[in-house]
């Protein structure tokens, strides 16, 4: 059942928060051993909360919009009293003293957290294979990756263990796993959702958003977590619209820009075919397809991997063996510096080290102008491409990923191949624009495919309206993996 349907049934007295919680915990018990979506399952905490919510309801008190709805949280968002590891050895044993704003808002709305989900270490990756706790498997094919970095959240929703989960998206980490797992993933506009309590990877790119099966659920969750937060200096004061009211089903007159030249090389034929079918379906509902060009989109990957690594090298300096998590065993002759060095060497995995080195390099004197500054300049050109395009279209459509889910181990030895996964997703982070991935078909071997819509700044409403309209005509989002 969707989150919206569960909330309706609990509110209507057809079932209880405890019954819903138990049913989902049973499902986790059955599926999780095969999928490994969770770092921590908080069963006791969840049942306690569900009991309290039922008492609250029986007392006739007003119910939040997610009253009794089970959710999962990516393990790079702080949860008071519940271990939060970012799937890194360096944070083993870290228990945050406070909750991220998104977690506090979900709980204030009545949601019940069932656990913390796996990710690529510090959200650096596209497959969850960079997790220090082992990879998550794709529920559609257990030999394949669910995508990443929010692969645990995506697999938990795709495996029907929770109807709703949160991820973070720095270069595609919500949309890519959503596409590979056959579910919906929304990356809101930069500044829309508070990053307070999110472990920073690249602060000018990071944004939190929901995973769900239906667009209606994504709208519901986004409504709850979005909006200004004084704890995040980059949080926008732009008012949140009524997103559920914007789901009218209507796309007549909506202009959808399709960047044809950008969709050629390296995109699998079944992905392209499913994408074009989806565009046809939206056109049949009254939208207009417009040919557009994004001349600088092809630079997205190099620009992203310069800016993201530069910011990561700075953000991850705080993990020093003093304030959080892992500290090396101190030997007699150790200096403070060797303590820092060994703690970081023991605590960080290979990909995180690669990015810290790359990022430190591009920021260093003599290279800054050639790499970091140049990347920022091209970022501006990319932003202008979209500004130009949004003068004549309302949304931009592309496939979300160039291929369906790849095999575990297939790309781990070749970081460039892994990075190329993000070709369609990094633009939205570099520009700050909102984007959504929606399931739109399957490959011949029944692997999910998704398409992506990118919208104007703060115009999630149009994205959600178009995506919901598409779901009214299609059933891809209702299909679940065959196992269990």
Contact footprint for ligand GLN (CB under 6 A)? 123-126, 149, 169-173, 201, 308, 422
**CA–CA distance, 34 with 108 (Å, rounded to integer):** 32
Of 466, 419, 481, 413, the residue nearest 180 (C-alpha)? 481
Torsion of CA 186, 191, 192, 194, to 10 degrees: 100
**3 state DSSP class of 445:** coil
Q: Which is nearer to ligand GLN, 64 or 185 (CB)?
A: 185
Of residues 78 and 393, the one with the C-beta less far from ligand GLN: 78
Nearer to ligand GLN, 162 or 308 (CB): 308
- Token digits of residue 254: 């909506």
CA distances from 387 to 165, 293, 382 (A): 31, 12, 9
Minimum CB separation of residue 170 from ligand GLN in Å reads: 3
**C-beta of residue 37 within 8 angstroms of C-beta of residue 117:** yes
Residue 70 near residue 49 (C-beta atoms within 8 A): no
Minimal distance, residue 240 CB to ligand GLN, in Å = 23
Q: Shortest Cβ distance from residue 134 to ligand GLN (Å)?
A: 18
- Whichever of 53 and 205 has its CB closer to ligand GLN, that residue is 205
Q: Distances from the Cα of 77 to the Cαs of 115, 198, 378, 389, 406, in angstroms?
A: 11, 4, 31, 35, 27
**173: annotated active-site residue:** yes
Distance CA 168, CA 187 (A): 8
Considering the complex, state which of residue 305 and residue 451 has its C-beta at the smaller distance from ligand GLN.
305
> What is the nearest approach in angstroms of ligand GLN to the Cβ of residue 385?
20
Residue 362 host element (H or E): helix 350-363
| Shortest reach from residue 362's CB to ligand GLN, in Å | 15
Active site residue 235: no
**What is the nearest approach in angstroms of ligand GLN to the Cβ of residue 483?**
27
Nearest distance in Å: CB 202, ligand GLN: 8
Minimum Å gap between C-beta 208 and ligand GLN is 11
CA–CA separation, 223 and 388 (whole Å)? 29
- Token pair of 148 as six digits: 């990443």
Q: Name the pairing type of β-strands 395-399 and 448-455.
A: antiparallel
Q: Are residues 124 and 355 in contact, defined by beta-carbon separation less than 8 angstroms? A: yes
Catalytic residue among 4, 131, 149, 212: 149
In angstroms, give the least distance from the CB of 95 to ligand GLN.
23
Q: Which residues contact 230 (CB under 8 A, 6 or more apart)?
A: none
Which helix (H) or strand (E) element contains residue 361? helix 350-363
- The H-assigned helical ranges of 257-334 are 269-284, 300-315
Nearer to ligand GLN, 172 or 450 (CB): 172
314 classed as catalytic? no
The smaller minimum CB distance to ligand GLN, of residues 76 and 79, is found at 76
What is the 3-class SS of 317-331, one letter each residue? HHCCCCCCCCCCCCC
Q: Which of 173, 235, 343, 427 is catalytic?
A: 173
Q: Kind of pairing, strands 38-41 and 112-117? A: antiparallel
The 10 Å CB-count burial string (b at 16+, else e) for 196-210 is: bbbbbbbebbbbbbb
Which residue's CB is nearer to ligand GLN, number 2 or number 173? 173
214 vs 309 by CB, closer to ligand GLN: 309
Distance between CA atoms of residues 431 and 101, nearest Å: 24
Given 2, 74, 87, 99, the catalytic residue: 74
Residue with tokens 């703060």: 458
Q: Which residues are catalytic?
A: 74, 149, 173
């Amino acid at each position: 059942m969707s989150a919206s349907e569960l909330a309706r049934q609990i509110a209507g007295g057809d079932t209880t928060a405890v019954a819903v919680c138990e049913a989902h915990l049973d499902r986790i018990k059955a599926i999780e051993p095969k999928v490994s979506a969770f770092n921590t399952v908080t069963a006791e905490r969840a049942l306690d909360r569900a009991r309290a919510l039922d008492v609250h309801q029986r007392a006739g008190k007003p119910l939040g919009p997610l009253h009794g709805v089970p959710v999962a949280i990516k393990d790079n968002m702080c949860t008071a009293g519940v271990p939060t590891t970012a799937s890194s050895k360096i944070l083993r044993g870290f228990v945050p003293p406070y909750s991220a704003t998104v977690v506090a808002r979900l709980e204030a709305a009545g949601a019940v957290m069932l656990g913390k989900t796996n990710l690529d270490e510090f959200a650096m990756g596209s497959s969850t294979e960079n997790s220090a706790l082992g990879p998550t498997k794709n529920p559609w094919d257990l030999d394949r990756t669910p995508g990443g970095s929010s692969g645990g959240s995506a697999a938990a929703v795709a495996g029907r263990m929770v109807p709703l989960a949160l991820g973070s998206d720095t270069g595609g980490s919500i949309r890519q796993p959503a596409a590979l797992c056959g579910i919906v993933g929304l990356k809101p506009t930069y500044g829309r959702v508070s990053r307070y309590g999110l472990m920073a990877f690249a602060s000018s790119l990071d944004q939190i958003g929901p995973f769900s099966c239906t667009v209606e659920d994504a709208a519901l969750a986004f409504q709850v977590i979005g909006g200004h937060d004084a704890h995040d200096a980059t949080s926008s004061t732009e008012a949140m619209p009524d997103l559920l009211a914007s789901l009218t089903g209507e796309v007549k007159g909506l202009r959808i820009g399709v960047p044809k030249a950008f969709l050629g090389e390296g995109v699998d034929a079944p992905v392209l075919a499913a994408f074009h079918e989806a565009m046809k379906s939206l056109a049949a509902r009254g939208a207009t397809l417009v040919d557009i060009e994004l001349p600088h989109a092809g630079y997205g990957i190099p620009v992203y991997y310069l800016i993201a690594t530069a910011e990561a090298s700075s953000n991850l300096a705080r993990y020093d063996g003093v304030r959080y998590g892992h500290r090396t065993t101190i030997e007699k002759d150790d200096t403070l510096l060797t303590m820092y060095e060994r703690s970081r060497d023991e605590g960080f995995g290979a990909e995180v080290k690669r990015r810290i080195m790359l990022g430190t390099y591009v920021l260093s004197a003599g290279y800054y102008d050639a790499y970091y500054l140049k990347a920022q300049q091209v970022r501006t050109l990319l932003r202008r491409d979209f500004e130009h395009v949004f003068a004549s279209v309302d949304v931009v459509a592309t496939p979300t990923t160039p291929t369906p889910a790849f095999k575990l181990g297939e790309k781990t030895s070749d970081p460039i191949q892994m990075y190329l996964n993000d070709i369609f997703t990094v633009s939205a982070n570099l520009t700050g624009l909102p984007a959504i991935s929606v399931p739109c078909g399957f490959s011949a071997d029944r692997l999910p495919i998704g398409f992506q819509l990118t919208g104007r700044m703060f115009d999630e409403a149009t994205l959600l309206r178009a995506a919901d309209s598409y779901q009214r005509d299609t059933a891809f989002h209702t299909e679940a993996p065959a196992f269990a």
